[in-house]
Amino acid sequence: MENAEIRNLVLQKVSAAKIASQKLGLLSSEQKNAVLLAMAQALEKNSEDIIFHNKIDVDVAKSQGFDNALTDRLTLNEKRVKEMVKGIRDIVNQKDPVGEIIEERTLNDGLNIQKIRVPLGTIAMIYESRPNVTVDAAALCIKSGNAVILRGGSEAINSNKILSKIISGAAEAAGMPAGAIAFIDITDRTAISELIVLDKLIDLLIPRGGEEFINFIKKHSTIPVLSHGKGLCHTYVDKEADIKMAVKVAVNAKCQRPGVCNATETLLVHRDIADKILPELCSKYGELGTEIRGCPLTKAIVPTVVNAKEEDWSTEYHCLIISIKVVNSLEEAIAHINRYGSKHSDSIITENKERAEKFIKEVDSAAVFHNVSTRLHDGGVFGIGAEIGIATNKLHARGAMGARELTTTKFIVRGKGHIRN
């Protein structure tokens, strides 16, 4: 396909989405919820077809030697389809953010000023690997009154095609403006380059993928970018930790699903508790097939660990590998996290509330946990249903992003002939 043809196809879909956004933003909560329920029902009805098309992508990925973490993120099964459906229904049950009055005041002269939530307009999602993003993003954008343009990775093209066809068809039949869910099925990367410069038609760009991919988007986009950075997450086991709890949380944080962005990559352990917890913890990791890369103090306690290198402290493994460092103090743990972390999700395990509060205040991350696995940084867990991503930057939204984070604000001013003197 020639570049000009790609440009025209992208422009057509984006233009249609822009027009649809103006109609979508006017739908009532009841109308939007009816659309969402239709999408959920269609996914349930077509689950076998979804899994069939997904298997094509998974088989190709395996034949091309994709690693286990990437294959896992790509895979859809009955359980994951049900999770997508549940995510939509959870969104239906949420309060509609559009029209929410954030502030209101009436001045002495009778001038009434309100600040309310309104849709952003048109949102573009560029993402890799995870086909569930197709559904999650569409549902959240519908709830928040936004049109959405979806461009998934080539590795999930068959999965994304069938998902977008099912949900957009059901949504339009239920009253959604045509074109409000647009899927760009062009796998040529030229489509991305064409998409990210359409700032007159797209209000926000949300990329999800690897660090190199995110940096490319941020460098070349003319559209405001809300980035989902890498997930280099930490769990710190404090000297006053409950050992049984610490082992349970630290193992879950790494091993429950190692290929996702909120899995712990580096474990920090206070030296006063290291010899008590590391043998048991490393044994548990070993039972689950986890490679352990440790600092010299870790290796002195558990000689079988691999020597950690400097680059391990800044590596997001996306697999069953964890780096472990013994630290001398809470302050050293905080400094390590703020230096090497990605400002995503970090946790402290301790029974000392004062030490926990110090960690919470001083660790500069989108979500900070006390006696909790980093794996819990998730829209569903946080009660916002499916999430469009976990933002690690600090502008507009940060952390797990639901429908409310896909709105902006608008002032409404009412008076009786008020003028400026």
- For residue 327, the surrounding DSSP H or E stretch is strand 321-327
Task: Say if residue 409 is exposed, middle or buried (CB neighbours under 10 Å; 0-12, 13-18, 19+).
Answer: exposed
Nearest residue to 125 via CA among 207, 66, 190, 49: 207
Distance CA 245, CA 347 (A): 13
Query: Count of CB atoms within 10 A of residue 27's CB?
Result: 21
In a domain, 256, yes or no: yes
147, β-bridge pairs: 122
Mean pLDDT across 353-363: 98
* Pair 167, 55 in one domain: yes
**Residue ranges making up the domain that contains 209:** 3-229+393-414
> Looking at the structure, do residues 238 and 222 belong to the same domain, yes or no?
no
How many separate helices (H) and strands (E) can be counted in the chain? 14, 16
Q: Which residues pair with 229 in a beta bridge?
A: none
177-199 pLDDT tens trace: 999 999 999 999 999 999 999 99
Does a structural domain hold residue 387? no
Band of residue 158 on the pLDDT scale cut at 50, 70, 90: very high
Inform me whether the pLDDT recorded for 345 exceeds 90.
yes
| 384 is a domain residue | no
Cα distance between residue 118 and residue 97, in whole Å = 8
Least confident span in 133-147, 207-221, 270-284, 337-351: 207-221
pLDDT of residue 229: 67
The CATH number that applies at residue 23 is 3.40.605.10
pLDDT at 154 over 80: yes
Judgement on whether residues 225 and 237 belong to the same structural domain of the protein: no
**Full-model pTM:** 0.85
Are 205 and 276 in the same domain?
Answer: no
Same domain, 205 and 220: yes
Asked, for residue 16, whether it belongs to a domain, the answer is yes
HSE of 153, CA atoms in CB hemisphere, 13 A: 21
The reported pLDDT for the residue numbered 263 is 96
Of 289 and 395, more confident: 289
Count of structural domains, the chain: 2
Which one, of 347, 373, 268, 265, lies nearest residue 312 by Cα? 265
Q: Chain centroid to CA 85: how far? A: 17
Which two three-digit tokens encode residue 330?
A: 């809470």
- Give 86-99 pLDDT, tens digit per residue: 999 999 999 999 99
Query: What pLDDT does residue 383 have?
Result: 77
Q: Say whether both 315 and 219 belong to one domain.
A: no
Written as one string, the DSSP assignment of 369-385 is: EESS-GGG-STTTTTS-
Question: Is residue 222 a part of any domain in this protein?
Answer: yes
**By mean pLDDT, which of 106-115, 380-389, 401-410 is the weakest?**
380-389
Quick one: which of 368, 305, 373 has its CA closest to 333?
A: 368
Q: For residue 388, is it within any domain? A: no
pLDDT, averaged across the chain: 94
CB 245 within 8 Å of CB 343: no
- Can you tell me the distance from the alpha carbon of 72 to that of 134, in angstroms, rounded to the nearest whole number? 16
Same domain, yes or no, for 176 and 27?
A: yes
Position 230 pLDDT exceeds 80: no
Q: Within a domain: residue 420?
A: no
| Domain match, 144 and 289 both | no
The secondary structure of 81-99, three-state, reads: HHHHHHHHHHHHCCCCCCC
Q: What CATH number does the domain containing 274 carry? A: 3.40.309.10
Q: Which residue has the higher pLDDT, 35 or 396?
A: 35
* pLDDT digits 0-9 by tens, 291-310: 999 999 999 999 999 999 99
**187/304 same-domain check:** no
Specify whether 217 is located in the same domain as 243. no
Same domain, 222 and 351: no
CA–CA separation, 33 and 35 (whole Å): 5
Q: Report CA dihedral (311, 315, 319, 321) to the nearest 10 degrees.
A: 40
Q: Are residues 277 and 178 in the same domain?
A: no
| 385 within a domain of the structure (yes/no) | no
